[in-house]
Structure 1
Amino acid sequence: MASIAEAFGLTRARFALPAERAALNALDEGLEQVESRLTDQLAVTDPVVDALSRYLMEAGGKRVRPMLLLLAAQLGEGASQEVIDAAIIVEITHLASLYHDDVMDESDVRRGVPSAHVVWGNSMAILGGDLLFAKAAQLGAPLGTEVGILQASTFERLCLGQMHETLGPRDEDPVEHYIQVLADKTGSLIAAAAELGVVVSNADDRYRQPMREFGEAIGVAFQLVDDVIDLSFSPETGKPAGTDVKAGVATLPTLLLQQRGDADSAALLERLADTESAEFDSAVAALAAHEVTEQTMQVARDWQQRALRTLEDLPRGPVRRGLEEFSRSVIARIK
């Protein structure tokens, strides 16, 4: 069976040197510890709340944030107990944000299962997310003030990103506004994970900024690729093609289409707006084949290249190689 790390392009075939194999083995061992301890950390005595708190964790997930944190920790002392705790914190924080996002976006499916608010209602889903945020804070408290400040500032950015998405662009360019929302809602937590790996493993402090910048840039790239994936059926999530478009969620392909201002673009936007029409699926297919979708992929590649440039300040070795391969796997999710 493929390891968790291999899901991110970190395959043994590409990591042949003994030091690289050892780094990969350590990464898999750390991810296994995170996975096993997540269940314990999310357990609650009340059976209903217990089922709610573990719901999305048990539905699966990529574990991107713990993987990056554990990889960054190899710049320091490796997967200590504190590092494993930090990896669990970022994953619990991510899970908490999903409960809230699905309520805000009225998304009915998450990770191939009905969203928490569909099963338990909006109020319980929101409270479930709040409970997970509280658990992340509780787990982070023993790791010290520096970790607590980083947790709090990341939580602030998550909230601001959701608020700005809800308010929409005002005086700024819609595309620039959207990219900033992605940086806040997605990039900030991935950046925090990468930076925490350096902090909690006692790695050299000069690696904090490049890891933080790598995480934010690759987070934006990741979400832009998701915008393109949304335009076709996803076996990974079980979502039909055009789920975000149908829900009225802004994506870069639709924003770029709006900016074009020609008659054909306006006609396609009109077809996409009629979500109850029998022609909606064909309109989504037309958007998937449109040049604005390839432009979106190019913007994703630009952010990936930005992420790669930040790695020039890291020492050559298994960690840098792993981050490079992971960044390529983000783009390679489009077949």
Structure 2
Amino acid sequence: MTSSLPLGDDRLEEEVLAELDDVERRLTEAAANANPLVQTPARHLMDAGGKRLRPVLVMLTSHFGSGINDDVRTAAVATELTHLATLYHDDVMDDAPLRRGAPSAQQLWGNSVAILVGDLLFAKASQMVSTLGPAAVRIQAEAFERLVLGQRHETLGPGEGEDAVEHYIDVLADKTGSLIAAAASYGTLFSGADETATDASIAYGEKVGVAFQLADDVIDLVSDAETLGKEPGTDLRAGVVTMPVLLLRARAAAGEIDEIGASILADLASDDEDVRATTLDRLRGHEVLDETRVLARRWAADAVAELDALPDSATKRALTAFADLVVDRLA
């Protein structure tokens, strides 16, 4: 879980960190109340910790209104449960051996259990959201729809004539941005924030989500297993295409590919996973990695720009710091 949260305001940091302790308690309770048949795997990812960025955003955006209250707290927990559910499903889709430094649930208990645990957590999140009223249920349902469609679009790939980089950004907006935007929507909804703050927060959350995932595309390649919590280059080995590879392909299509880049693409086209794995070091040293870093920082800056219509406040400054945290991991 998050042990430090540099938001530029000591009072706000202390409040949010204290609230995160309650989030952890309620997440543990949700797993403890699961059916005994799945209780252990349901606790698995919760026990592994996490950044809890979505609950943090629910609580931060609530300060555009009256601040943190019981409905805000419930929404924060439900949003994190939804996120955890997607991780169980993602690990099945990607056949990931590690998650947050521990063996993934599907490695320990198999695909069927991992899928069912993900479904169970979605159900528990939905039960919580249902206590918050129809508007909250709609936010959850729309985010859930986008999560599913984002995964489907990623699996299918871009259509004929569709720009692959733009398609990928759309996938990131659906798979990551949608739930982070939902977190911002919950925070403003249940604190009674005005329409300007609500619209700005949701647009901010969407773009922060894209920035976060672009940063992860870089981190997946450059970090070691201990820091990353999973094997570096997991996507690369599995044949999952992320932004650095898409940028190489765009260069190739434009006739601007260099020799090393061409060799990387050739090896990635191999059906041999071992051959694909050898491209990791070469891709780490290629300039498309820096290009992806620039894209991540640009999306974070664009997210902050969505707050321009709002007056200066500790909350606005905290959200700026939050966006910086997303991309500071690239250092």
Using structure 2 for the length normalisation, give the TM-score: 0.93
Deviation at 1:313?
2.0
Q: Work out which of the residue numbers 270, 273, 276 in structure 1 matches 2:274.
A: 276
Which is worse superposed, 27-36 or 85-94? 27-36
Are positions 1:288 and 2:278 aligned together?
Answer: no
Distance 1:296 1:188 in 2: 21
Q: Work out which of the residue numbers 91, 98, 117 in structure 2 matches 1:102.
A: 91
Deviation at 1:66?
0.2
Structure 2 residue identity aligned to 1:178: Y
Deviation at 1:52?
1.5
Structure 2 residue identity aligned to 1:88: V
Distance 1:297 1:234 in 2: 20
Q: Work out which of the residue numbers 120, 123, 128 in structure 2 matches 1:134.
A: 123
Equivalences for residues 203-218 of structure 1 within 5 A: 203-218=193-208
Deviation at 1:5?
6.6
Distance 1:223 1:162 in 2: 14
Distance 2:14 2:225 in 1: 30
Judged with a 3 Å threshold, the aligned counterparts in structure 2 of structure 1 residues 34 and 327 are, in CA distance, closer, same or farther, namely same
In 2, are the aligned partners of 1:5 and 1:24 still within 8 Å (CA)?
A: no
Q: Which residue of 1 aligns with 2:250?
A: 259
- Identity rate of aligned residues, in percent? 48
Which is worse superposed, 76-85 or 136-145? 76-85
Q: Which residue of 1 aligns with 2:179?
A: 189
Distance 1:85 1:212 in 2: 19
In 2, are the aligned partners of 1:5 and 1:27 still within 8 Å (CA)?
A: no
Judged with a 3 Å threshold, the aligned counterparts in structure 2 of structure 1 residues 193 and 5 are, in CA distance, closer, same or farther, namely farther
Structure 1 residue identity aligned to 2:273: T
Q: Work out which of the residue numbers 32, 37, 60 in structure 2 matches 1:43.
A: 32
Q: Which residue of 2 aligns with 1:334?
A: 330
Deviation at 1:146?
0.5
Judged with a 3 Å threshold, the aligned counterparts in structure 2 of structure 1 residues 59 and 74 are, in CA distance, closer, same or farther, namely same
Unaligned runs of 5+ residues in structure 2 are none
Distance 1:145 1:254 in 2: 42
Q: Work out which of the residue numbers 94, 102, 106 in structure 2 matches 1:117.
A: 106
Distance 2:232 2:23 in 1: 32
CA RMSD of aligned residues (A): 1.7
Deviation at 1:310?
0.6
Q: Work out which of the residue numbers 307, 313, 317 in structure 1 matches 2:313.
A: 317
Which is worse superposed, 179-188 or 228-237? 228-237
Matched residue of 1:323: which SS? Answer: helix
Using structure 1 for the length normalisation, give the TM-score: 0.92
Deviation at 1:42?
2.3
Structure 2 residue identity aligned to 1:295: E
Are positions 1:147 and 2:136 aligned together?
Answer: yes
Structure 2 residue identity aligned to 1:275: E
Matched residue of 1:203: which SS? Answer: coil
In 1, are the aligned partners of 2:173 and 2:206 still within 8 Å (CA)?
A: yes
Q: Which residue of 2 aligns with 1:162?
A: 151
Equivalences for residues 23-38 of structure 1 within 5 A: 23-38=12-27
In 2, are the aligned partners of 1:228 and 1:293 still within 8 Å (CA)?
A: yes
Unaligned runs of 5+ residues in structure 1 are none
Post-superposition CA distance 1:232-251 (Å, at most 9, x none) = 22433332331111111111
Are positions 1:228 and 2:218 aligned together?
Answer: yes
Q: Which residue of 1 aligns with 2:233?
A: 242
**Residues paired across the two proteins, number:** 322
Q: Work out which of the residue numbers 181, 188, 211 in structure 2 matches 1:198.
A: 188
Are positions 1:178 and 2:176 aligned together?
Answer: no
Distance 1:310 1:52 in 2: 39
Distance 2:220 2:262 in 1: 21
Post-superposition CA distance 1:215-273 (Å, at most 9, x none) = 11011001001101111224333323311111111110011111212362221222344
Distance 1:240 1:134 in 2: 30
